[in-house]
């Protein structure tokens, strides 16, 4: 029995020296904006409230608590609120060989960095227990490490699901598809914003966050793409294509086309006819 105790003691000590708790906090009204590469692992938890999350150059993910998002070495993360709003935030950050093994073995599920919490009372209680212990000491004792692992285990037990996008974002995606299918339709952007259920400034911001370009430029690019398709298939004169695609005149069309495709419409047609 004594021999087993000694083995367990050294295993615990070996784990402890290979994990470091870097930071932790509980912010009931968080309004931060984080924009950085992380060199360590963090469990970020919004008990309630909404915020935006960007991972690398992927479209915005609208988070709505209770939800966890994981930040870790590798991707570029941006998240928070830039409109003055707040969310109820908790986090714990850590690093070392033990967390590396968590990530490698799936205990820290970096492949699914956004996880909705199905039992927020249970998860919040576990998170607060860990934060209370860290407030006393950030030494990586066996009990503290065990409490962190309990949180990670709970994350792995959450039902697999897709984070539901808010209705305004769904509406914006629907509007973008409509623009793609009919780029020649004249647009009243303020009416379009109203149809999406948001104000015009909010509509422009959401559209830009989702498609990385303003709605007016998105429409212009779709018209240019349609004009390029018409040039490749032949038939219409360039002047007719410019008019069909709703450009002001041939000069205006040629200038924009060359800026986007790097070549004049006539030369583009000669080089790409039938392709």
* pLDDT, tens digit (0-9, with 9 covering 90-100), for 211-252: 878 999 999 999 999 898 888 887 789 999 999 998 988 998
pLDDT tier, 31 (very low <50, low <70, confident <90, very high otherwise): very high
User: Residue 143: what pLDDT?
Assistant: 92
Backbone angles phi, psi at 148, to 5 degrees: -65, -45
Tell me the C-alpha to C-alpha distance, in Å, between residue 217 and each of 176, 183, 204, 223: 12, 12, 11, 10
Alpha carbons 169 and 50: distance in angstroms, whole number = 14
User: Residue 12: what pLDDT?
Assistant: 47
Q: Are 75 and 15 within 8 A, CB to CB?
A: no
Lowest mean pLDDT among 49-53, 141-145, 161-165: 161-165
Q: Are 172 and 207 within 8 A, CB to CB?
A: yes
Predicted confidence (pLDDT) at residue 16 exceeds the cutoff of 80: no
Q: Could you tell me the two tokens for 182?
A: 């009919």
pLDDT tier, 99 (very low <50, low <70, confident <90, very high otherwise): very high
Share of the chain above pLDDT 90, in %: 55
Backbone angles phi, psi at 116, to 5 degrees: -75, 140
Tell me how long the chain is: 275
User: Residue 2: what pLDDT?
Assistant: 44
SS3 of the chain: the string is CHHHHHHHHHHHHHHHCCCEEEEEEEEEEECCEEEEECCCEEEEEEEEEEEEEEECCCCCEEEECCEEEEECCCCEEEEECCCCCCEEEEEEEEECHHHHHHHHHCCCCCCCCEEECCCHHHHHHHHHHHHHHHHHCCCCCHHHHHHHHHHHHHHHCCCCCCCCCCHHHHHHHHHHHHHHHCCCCCCCHHHHHHHCCCCHHHHHHHHHHHHCCCHHHHHHHHHHHHHHHHHHHCCCCHHHHHHHCCCCCHHHHHHHHHHHHCCCHHHHHHHHCCC
Structural domains of the chain, ranges and CATH numbers in brackets: 2-156 (2.60.120.280), 167-272 (1.10.10.60)
pLDDT tier, 53 (very low <50, low <70, confident <90, very high otherwise): very high
Higher pLDDT, 85 or 146: 146
Q: Could you tell me the two tokens for 177?
A: 């598809």
pLDDT in tens, 260-272: 888 899 888 888 7
Average pLDDT over residues 32-54: 94
pLDDT in tens, 162-215: 556 678 888 898 999 999 989 999 899 999 999 888 889 889 988 888 887 899
Going by C-alpha positions, the residue among 267, 250, 175, 171 that lies closest to residue 215 is 175
Q: Could you tell me the two tokens for 26?
A: 């509980």
Q: Are 243 and 202 within 8 A, CB to CB?
A: no
Q: pLDDT averaged over the chain?
A: 87
């Amino acid at each position: 029995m004594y021999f087993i105790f000694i083995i367990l003691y050294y295993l615990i000590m070996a784990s402890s020296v290979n994990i470091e708790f870097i930071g932790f906090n509980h912010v009931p009204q968080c309004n931060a904006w984080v924009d950085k590469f992380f060199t360590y692992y963090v469990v970020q938890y919004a008990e309630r409230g909404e915020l935006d999350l960007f991972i690398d150059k992927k479209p915005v993910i609208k988070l709505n608590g209770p939800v966890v998002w994981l930040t870790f070495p590798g991707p570029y993360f941006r998240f928070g609120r830039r409109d003055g709003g707040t969310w109820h935030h908790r986090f714990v950050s850590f690093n070392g060989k033990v967390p590396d093994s968590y990530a490698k073995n799936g205990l820290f599920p970096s492949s699914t960095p956004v996880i909705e919490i199905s039992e927020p009372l249970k998860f919040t209680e576990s998170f607060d227990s860990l934060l209370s212990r860290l407030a006393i000491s950030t030494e990586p004792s066996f009990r503290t490490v065990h409490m962190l692992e309990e949180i990670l285990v709970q994350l792995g037990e959450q039902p697999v699901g897709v984070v539901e996008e808010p209705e305004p974002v769904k509406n914006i995606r629907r509007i973008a598809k409509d623009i793609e299918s009919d780029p020649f339709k004249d647009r009243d952007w303020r009416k379009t914003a109203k149809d999406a259920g948001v104000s015009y400034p909010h509509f422009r911001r959401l559209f830009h966050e989702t498609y990385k370009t303003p709605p007016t430029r998105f429409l212009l690019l779709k018209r240019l793409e349609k004009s390029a398709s018409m040039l490749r298939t032949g038939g219409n004169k360039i002047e007719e294509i410019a008019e069909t695609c709703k450009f002001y005149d041939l000069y205006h069309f040629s200038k924009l086309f060359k800026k986007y495709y790097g070549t004049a419409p006539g030369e583009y047609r000669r080089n790409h006819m039938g392709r």
